[in-house]
Amino acid sequence: MKQESELERLEHFVNSLIARYNDLQKVSERLAQDVQERDGIIEELRENVAQLESERTEIGNRVSGIIFQIEEWEKSGAASAGQAATADNPEGRIQGNLFSIGSESQGAVEND
């Protein structure tokens, strides 16, 4: 009878171990799936970061080009004006319209 009792305890213990093992397998599978999903998200985010860095570089280059054009425009405006100083404009600067076409509308605001 003692042997049967110990055998039942052993069976119960083995069944308990198998149940815990099965539960842990399910948890492991779920975690592996979560890791796979997160890896996909990370890859998408890395692609987004690379795209945004590329866009930022392009925008920086375009802004630098615009700044260079403005500086060149300012230099050409100062040179063509002859830097005539007046009482209202002691430094001899002329403010033109960067967005006008042709020299006849320089200094005037265009209306659409």
Per residue in 43-67, pLDDT tens? 999 999 999 999 999 999 999 999 9
> Tens of pLDDT along 70-106?
999 998 876 665 555 566 666 666 666 666 555 544 4
Question: Which alpha helices (DSSP H) does the chain contain, by range?
Answer: 2-81
Listed as own residue / partner, the contacts of 89-95 with beta carbons closer than 8 Å and 24 or more positions apart are none
Taken in order 11, 16, 19, 21, the sign of the CA dihedral is negative
- Contact predicate 110/99, CB 8 Å: yes
CB-based burial, 17-30: b 16+ in 10 Å, e otherwise: eeeeeeeeeeeeee
What single letter denotes the amino acid at residue 7? L
Give the Cα separation of 17 and 7 in Å (integer): 15
> Structure pTM?
0.51
| Assigned token pair, 39 | 């890896």
Q: Tell me the C-alpha distance between 101 and 27, whole Å.
A: 70
